[in-house]
Structure 1
Amino acid sequence: MNILISSAGRRVSLVRAFQKELKKLFPNGKVFAADANPVLSAACQIADGHFKVPYLSDSTYFKVLIKECQDNDIKLIVPTIDTELLMLAENRELLEENGITPVIASKEFVSKCRDKREIHKFFESHGVSVAKEFSKKDYQLPLFIKPIDGSRSVDTYLIKDESELTDYHFENEKLMFLEYLDHNEFNEFTCDLYYGRDHQLKCVVPRKRLEVRDGEVYKALTVHNKLVPYIREKLAKVDGAVGCLTAQFFLHNENDKIYAIEINPRFGGGYPLSYLSGANYPKWIIKEYFLGEAIEESFDIWEKDLLMIRYDDEILVHGYKG
C-alpha cells in the first residue's frame, strides 16, 4: 500500500506526515515522491523513494507516471500543485484502470476552482459573499487585480491611484478588477477543509496568515472562530469535493462580514500547521482509500491558538554530479 506525493518539490513536511501515518497502519508501506527534477527536490530526498516524471505539458507524462506507479506498487496519488489538478481529474479513469487512485476532486469541481469567476458563482450559489468584480470601464479605487486562473499571488496588483493602471491591466482579458478588501479591516484566513468520499465536510481548520513569502505562509496561527460554524453550515456538502481543500476567507475585524476568495482542491503549503494541531487528514485519506473506513465529522479535534513559525533548513545530497 504505497502512496505517491506528486510534484513534491519542497513539501517535506507533507511527505513526513504521510510517512508517519502510513507506517502506523501499514508498517511496510512507503511514501514515494515524484518531480521533474527529483535530485533538486527536498521532498524527494526524504521520501522512501522517488522518480523523475516529464513536465505536465509532455505527451508522455501519464505513460511514465503509470509505469513508475506500477513498478513501485503505488496505489494512491496525492497532488500538490494547481497545474496538475485538472489533468489528473480528467485522466481519473485511465489511472483507475491501471490500479491507481488519484485523491482529487471531480473534473467539474476542479474546473470551477481553476477559474476565479466560476468559483465566485459557486460561493454565491451557497450563500457565501465574494468581493465585487468591476467592469474595466466602471470601477472604484482602491481595487485588487488578479488573473482568473492564477496561483501563488502571481500577476496580482493592489491599485490605489489611477496612475498605477496600465494598458496591460486593461487589455489582458484574464485580469479581474475586484473590490479591495482592506487588511486593516479584515483578517485573512486560509482554511484547511476535509471532505470524505461521500463529499461531506468533516473538518475545518482556519489558519490566520501572519506572514507570507512567495505565496506560501511562513507564520500562521490556528484560530477557532466564526468561520468554523459558518463554513460547516454553508459548505456542508460539495458535489465532487474529496480529501483536503484549501480555501481562503476574509473575516471582518468588527462585524460579521465574511468574504470567500478562492478554493484550491489540494493540500496547501501551510497544511502542516493543521496536521500538527491534530487535524490528521493523511490518516483519514489512508483509512478511506486503503481500509474503506468512513470518516466521522471532527470539527473540534484540533488545537486552537497554535502558532507555527517556519524556518529554512538544509538537506544534503552526497556525491551530486549535476
Structure 2
Amino acid sequence: MNQNILITSAGQRVSLVKAFQKEIKKLNQNNKVYTVDLNPILAPACHISDGYRTVNRVTDPNYISELINLCKELSIRLIIPTIDTELLVLAENRELFLKEGIIPIVSGLEFVKACRDKRIINQFFIENNIDIPKNLDKNNLSFPLFIKPYDGSLSKDTFLIENESDLTDYHFQNPKLMFMEYINHAQYDEYTVDTYFDKNGNLKCIVPRKRIFVRAGEVNKGVTNKNEIVDYINQRLSHIEGAVGCLTMQFFFNQESKRIIGIEINPRFGGGYPLSYLAGANYPKYLIDEYILGNSIEYFNDWEDNLLMLRYDDEVLVRNYED
C-alpha cells in the first residue's frame, strides 16, 4: 500500500514539495506527494507535485468532508498544512481524519489557538521566561513604537510609528491593534527559528536562520547560525504541550547585549524552511519516521552552520493553458 503525502495550499512551496518527494520515495518509489490549492493551475508547487486537486476555501462548510474524500481517493497518509488559516480547522477536525487512517500534522487545538492570538502567545512566552517587546499604554506613549494586530499575519496592518503625528484615529479605534516597544533593526537581528517537536511535544531540533532580506513576507536571503538562541530555546521550550512537527518561531537578537526577544510562533512549516532542510535538519524525514514508520526521533544539532541561502526566481511552464 502506498504511503502518500498531501500538502495543502501548496502555492509556491516548490522546495517543500521536492523535499517531501525525495524523502517519501526513499521508502517506495511509488509513493507520491500530492497538492491541493484554491487555484492549482496558477500554483507552481502543484505542477511540481505528483498530482493536484482543486479545493474550496478553508472557510467553506464542505471543506473538511471534501478534503477527507480527496485523501481517501489519493491514499493519503499524512497531511502537511502550510498556511495559518488551515491550522485551526484541521486541529478542530483532527479526529475525523484519524478515523480514516489519515494523520494531519497539526498541533493540538489549544496550542494552535494560542499561536493565532499574539496576546496569548505573549503570555506563553512570559510564563516560559522568554522576553517580549514591552506593551505600551495608549494613553502614555513613547516613540518610536510599533503597532500590529493580535491575530494578523503576513505583516498586514502593521505600523512603525516614529512620532505622535503618525498616529490616526484608525490606530486607536481598531480594537485588534497592539501598541508595543519598537525593536530597532539597526540594533537587533531578526531570526526565524525552525524547531521540530515530536508527537509527545518534546523538542528535537533547533535551527536559527538570520533573515537578511525578506520579500513579500518570506525570507529571500538568509543564513543559518548556531548562536545563543539555540540554548535559549532549549532551556525554556524543551517541551510544549500539544506541539507537533515543525514550529516556526520568530525572535530578535542583540549581538552586543545578548538580549533575545520572542515575537511569535507559527505551528507549521515556514516559507524559509528549505534552508534548514538543506542544512541537514530533515523534518520531512522526521515526520515520515514518526508517523509512518513508528520510529522515535533523537535530538539533532549537527546541521550546517553559516549556510547562506540566496533565492532567485525560476519558471514553471504550463502548456495549452486556457483562462
Shorter-chain TM band: over 0.9
1:26 and 1:148 mapped to 2: Cα distance?
44
Count residues in correspondence: 321
Residue from 29, 33, 55 that aligns with 1:27:
29
Q: Secondary structure at the match of 2:25?
A: helix
1:215 and 1:87 mapped to 2: Cα distance?
23
2:295 and 2:141 mapped to 1: Cα distance?
51
Deviation at 1:6, TM superposition (A): 0.5
Matched with 1:308 is 309
Matched with 2:319 is 318
Matched with 1:267 is 269
Matched with 1:167 is 169
1:201 and 1:186 mapped to 2: Cα distance?
26
1:97 and 1:24 mapped to 2: Cα distance?
27
2:121 and 2:141 mapped to 1: Cα distance?
21
Correspondence 1:226-237 to 2 at 5 A: 226-237=228-239
Matched with 2:100 is 98
Correspondence 1:246-261 to 2 at 5 A: 246-261=248-263
Matched with 1:144 is 146
Q: Secondary structure at the match of 1:24?
A: coil
Deviation at 1:26, TM superposition (A): 2.5
1:213 and 1:157 mapped to 2: Cα distance?
17
**Which AA in structure 2 matches 1:174?**
K
* Percent of paired sites with the same residue: 56
Deviation at 1:56, TM superposition (A): 1.0
2:34 and 2:142 mapped to 1: Cα distance?
49
Q: Secondary structure at the match of 2:247?
A: strand
1:192 and 1:320 mapped to 2: Cα distance?
37
2:204 and 2:122 mapped to 1: Cα distance?
23
TM-score normalised by the chain length of structure 2: 0.98
| Runs of 4+ off more than 2 Å | none
Deviation at 1:97, TM superposition (A): 1.5
Matched with 2:206 is 204
**Which AA in structure 1 matches 2:294?**
G
1:76 and 1:306 mapped to 2: Cα distance?
30
**Which AA in structure 2 matches 1:314?**
E
Correspondence 1:17-56 to 2 at 5 A: 17-56=19-58
> 1:11-54: per-residue Cα shift (whole Å, max 9, x none)?
00000000001111232210000001111110101100110110
**Which AA in structure 1 matches 2:100?**
N
Q: Secondary structure at the match of 1:133?
A: coil
**Which AA in structure 2 matches 1:317?**
V
Q: Does 1:157 align with 2:159?
A: yes
Deviation at 1:135, TM superposition (A): 2.1
**Structure 1 regions of 5+ residues with no counterpart?**
none
Matched with 1:119 is 121
1:236 and 1:82 mapped to 2: Cα distance?
23
Deviation at 1:231, TM superposition (A): 0.5
**Structure 2 regions of 5+ residues with no counterpart?**
none
Root-mean-square deviation (CA, aligned residues, Å) is 0.7
**Which AA in structure 2 matches 1:302?**
W
1:66 and 1:56 mapped to 2: Cα distance?
13
